[in-house]
């Protein structure tokens, strides 16, 4: 029996029990047998959730890129590591072998060094889904620089906030990006962001769309000529197990986005291990995750997890609807994709197109289908199972978070029997707990509560960049000695978990986490707005969409509401990005508030979801009268 590769259900239970009873010896064995270390650890795990402090493999030394690239060269040098599929199907796909990846990462790493980047420096990567994105991530890791990838759909303001928060010395970007039929002026966004970032000394620019762009003298440099001159050998920086590998921002319910810090050894071990098992990856498989590397799914399951296993990982630049809704299936057929990992929002959008488009493509290579990012509804699950998997490919509904680094609850395909809408069983090493509102753990099956994790796993985020106190308050204060996920879940009669959704003010729109506070702040910047409240409501493709209740200032505002709506969505686009635009905006005379002045979102949520007959108790409201008015004018 190999603990590294689980093949049967009995094996799962056996290995799971071992990983819970003896977590240290379990992970030690995995680490020892499957990775390359420059020095072994002094201790496997040290932890204290009350501080919170967690360290795995303390004292060990390694470089993650040696594990993801160098060690494969003797056995898999010519194998495709990254298979780049461009936005437009007429442009040829690029097969980057492990040998070539080695050279390109090393060259890039040397360019970073030449430009003054050193171990521990933060580098912001604002690059579309082109090979330079993955390569720049790995180049940072090669020299020990901490990468902070910002999804290239974020606005200049959102980018600037993230650059400043982690004090990035460099930004890597491109002249622009292709997204379906659109081109986006990324460099223009960077220029605007940098007007408010004094920490950035250098901007490296990759060429993608070949347009004339402004290059600021002394600051902006084209990447290609620098790469050309650079040596393709760069000795890896030897890192400590707990040295930060990257920062990745995620939305919180309030305030600034949180820069989650992931460290080196534990993250590597856990993402590699979960990749192998959750996708049952075999040597010559072609694996495709449709996420963007700007999100955690892309970090863990396009770059690090697959490459640590010597896999072939597809990187797709485009969108599912361009040039038509057959694009995903065209790619599956063309590259004979074996494992396909996507988000429920994409599945719902594709399902809406009917099945005719699918029939043109040969999907017989598929063996495993994955879903991540939000609860997958039953209808979408069946559609995926029947039309894409032809009822032969198990669906892994994998639950996890930016903070968890890797998959936490998920079926293992061909091992765990699946059940629609259930993420099923905890992954090896993961100890979930469901808690009631009084902080008691709900034991046994058929219970529903708040989802916590009781014991550290190797890839848990170690802190929030620059704000350990917030890390403690957000994740370790709601329940004693437990990591609180912010999600609700239930456990069924056989112990399967079903995630029921967020229990805080984070709304997941098309798989993107959005905090309500920053959106409200953006709206409130409009001179006509007095205050606003955002809630989510069910949407057949996006999962949830945003509903804004907006009270205008009493200035005799006679402006056209349609114009106001456009202006407000423009403000949101400028401050956060188009993903945070509101689907519905209702102008109200007031917002329901408690006597202490807090907006009662529960009521607004019900109204937005058309559930006004179950509003619950409104007698504690300060201004009960606004509720009826809001109901009468609901959209």
| Residue 173 lies near ligand WTA (rule: CB under 6 A) | no
Per-residue CA distances from 503 to 153, 180, 494, 500 (Å): 26, 35, 24, 9
Q: Binder to ligand WTA among 84, 399, 484, 549 (CB under 6 A)?
A: 399
The least CB distance from residue 515 to ligand WTA, in Å, is: 12
| Residue 484 lies near ligand WTA (rule: CB under 6 A) | no
The least CB distance from residue 311 to ligand WTA, in Å, is: 19
Of 516 and 532, the one with the shorter C-beta distance to ligand WTA is 516
The least CB distance from residue 306 to ligand WTA, in Å, is: 16
* CA–CA separation, 409 and 495 (whole Å): 12
| Residue 271 lies near ligand WTA (rule: CB under 6 A) | no
For the chain, the residue count is 635
The pair of three-digit structure tokens given for residue 420, joined into one six-digit string: 């629609």
| Residue 499 lies near ligand WTA (rule: CB under 6 A) | yes
Of 57 and 483, the one with the shorter C-beta distance to ligand WTA is 483
Give strand ranges (E) for 407-561: 432-435, 447-453, 463-464, 483-491, 497-502, 506-509, 512-515, 529-539, 543-552
Of 297 and 459, the one with the shorter C-beta distance to ligand WTA is 297
Q: Specify the stretch interacting with ligand WTA by CB under 6 A; choose among 33-41, 326-334, 392-400, 557-565.
A: 392-400
Which single residue is written with the structure tokens 């060259």? 107
The least CB distance from residue 345 to ligand WTA, in Å, is: 11
| Residue 520 lies near ligand WTA (rule: CB under 6 A) | no
Q: Binder to ligand WTA among 423, 430, 552, 627 (CB under 6 A)?
A: 423
Q: Which residue is nearest to ligand WTA (CB)?
A: 402
Of 295 and 455, the one with the shorter C-beta distance to ligand WTA is 295
Burial of residue 236, with CB atoms counted within 10 A of its CB: 0-12 exposed, 13-18 middle, 19 or more buried:
buried
Task: With beta carbons less than 8 A apart as the criterion, state whether 396 and 410 touch.
Answer: yes
Which single residue is written with the structure tokens 């982690």? 166
| Residue 396 lies near ligand WTA (rule: CB under 6 A) | no
Determine the straight-line distance between the first and last CA of the chain, rounded to whole angstroms.
58
* CA–CA separation, 289 and 373 (whole Å): 12
Q: Binder to ligand WTA among 487, 504, 505, 520 (CB under 6 A)?
A: 487
| Residue 142 lies near ligand WTA (rule: CB under 6 A) | no
* CA–CA separation, 403 and 259 (whole Å): 10
| Residue 402 lies near ligand WTA (rule: CB under 6 A) | yes
Of 41 and 400, the one with the shorter C-beta distance to ligand WTA is 400
Return the DSSP state at 91: S
| Residue 372 lies near ligand WTA (rule: CB under 6 A) | yes
The least CB distance from residue 241 to ligand WTA, in Å, is: 24
The least CB distance from residue 171 to ligand WTA, in Å, is: 23
Interaction residues for ligand WTA, span 275-314 (CB under 6 A): 295-297
Helix (H, G, I), strand (E, B) or coil at 609: coil
Q: Specify the stretch interacting with ligand WTA by CB under 6 A; choose among 36-44, 308-316, 326-334, 369-377.
A: 369-377
The least CB distance from residue 287 to ligand WTA, in Å, is: 17
Task: With beta carbons less than 8 A apart as the criterion, state whether 9 and 495 touch.
Answer: no
Q: Which residues contact 576 (CB under 8 A, 6 or more apart)?
A: 154, 155, 157, 158, 514, 518, 519, 522
Residue ranges of the alpha helices (H) in 54-130? Answer: 64-68, 73-76, 98-114
* CA–CA separation, 326 and 343 (whole Å): 16
Binding-site ranges for ligand WTA (CB under 6 A)? 250, 295-297, 372-375, 397-402, 423, 485-487, 499, 502, 508, 513
């Amino acid at each position: 029996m190999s603990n590294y590769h689980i093949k049967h259900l009995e094996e799962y239970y056996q290995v799971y029990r071992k990983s819970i009873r003896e977590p240290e010896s379990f992970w030690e064995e995995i680490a020892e047998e499957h990775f390359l270390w420059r020095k072994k650890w002094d201790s496997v795990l040290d932890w204290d959730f009350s501080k919170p402090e967690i360290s795995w493999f303390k004292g060990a030394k390694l470089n993650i890129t040696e594990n993801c690239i160098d060690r494969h060269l003797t056995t898999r040098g010519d194998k495709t590591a990254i298979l780049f599929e461009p936005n437009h199907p007429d442009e040829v796909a690029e097969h980057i072998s492990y040998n070539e990846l080695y050279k390109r990462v090393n060259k890039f790493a040397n360019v970073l060094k030449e430009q003054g980047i050193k171990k521990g420096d933060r580098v912001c990567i604002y690059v579309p889904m082109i090979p330079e994105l993955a390569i720049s991530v790995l180049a940072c890791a090669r020299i020990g620089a901490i990468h902070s990838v910002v999804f290239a759909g974020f606005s200049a303001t959102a980018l600037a906030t993230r650059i400043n928060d982690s004090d990035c010395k460099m930004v890597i970007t491109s002249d622009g990006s292709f997204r379906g039929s659109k081109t986006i002026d990324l460099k223009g966004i960077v220029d605007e962001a940098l007007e408010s970032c004094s920490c950035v000394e250098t901007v490296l620019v990759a060429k993608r769309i070949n347009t004339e762009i402004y290059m600021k003298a002394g600051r902006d440099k084209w990447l290609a000529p620098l790469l050309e001159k650079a040596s393709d050998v760069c000795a890896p920086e030897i890192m400590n197990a707990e040295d930060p590998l990257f920062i990745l921002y995620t939305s919180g319910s309030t305030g600034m986005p949180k820069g989650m810090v992931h460290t080196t050894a534990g993250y590597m071990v856990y993402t590699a291990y979960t990749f192998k098992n959750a996708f049952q990856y075999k040597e010559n498989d072609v694996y495709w995750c449709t996420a963007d590397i700007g999100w955690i799914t892309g970090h863990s399951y396009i770059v690090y997890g697959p490459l640590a296993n010597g896999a072939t990982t597809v990187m797709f630049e485009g969108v599912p609807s361009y040039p038509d809704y057959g694009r995903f299936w065209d790619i599956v057929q063309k590259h004979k994709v074996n494992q396909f990992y996507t988000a429920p929002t994409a599945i719902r959008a594709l399902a809406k197109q009917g099945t005719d488009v699918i029939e043109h493509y040969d999907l017989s290579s598929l063996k495993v289908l994955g879903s991540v990012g939000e609860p997958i509804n039953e209808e979408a699950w069946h559609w995926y199972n029947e039309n894409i998997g032809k009822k032969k490919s198990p669906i892994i509904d994998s639950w996890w978070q930016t903070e968890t680094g890797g998959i936490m609850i998920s079926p293992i395909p061909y091992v765990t029997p699946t059940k629609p809408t259930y993420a099923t069983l905890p992954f090896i090493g993961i100890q979930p707990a469901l808690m009631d509102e009084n902080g008691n753990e709900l034991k046994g099956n058929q219970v529903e509560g708040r989802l916590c994790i009781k014991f550290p796993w190797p890839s848990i985020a170690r802190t929030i960049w620059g704000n350990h106190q917030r890390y403690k308050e957000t994740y370790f204060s709601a329940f004693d000695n437990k990591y609180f996920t912010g999600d609700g879940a239930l456990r069924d009669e056989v112990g399967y978990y079903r995630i029921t959704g967020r229990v805080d003010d984070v709304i997941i729109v098309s798989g993107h986490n959005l905090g309500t506070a920053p959106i409200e702040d953006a709206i409130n910047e409009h001179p006509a707005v007095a205050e606003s409240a955002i809630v989510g409501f069910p949407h057949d493709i996006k999962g949830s969409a945003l509903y804004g209740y907006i009270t205008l200032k009493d200035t005799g505002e006679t402006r056209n509401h349609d114009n106001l709506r456009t202006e407000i969505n423009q403000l949101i686009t400028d401050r956060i990005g188009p993903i945070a635009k509101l689907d519905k905006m209702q102008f109200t005379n007031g917002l329901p508030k408690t006597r202490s002045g807090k907006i009662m979102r529960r009521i607004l949520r019900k109204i937005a979801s058309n559930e006004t007959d179950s509003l619950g108790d409104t007698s504690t409201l300060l201004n009960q009268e606004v509720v009826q008015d809001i109901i009468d004018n609901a959209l």
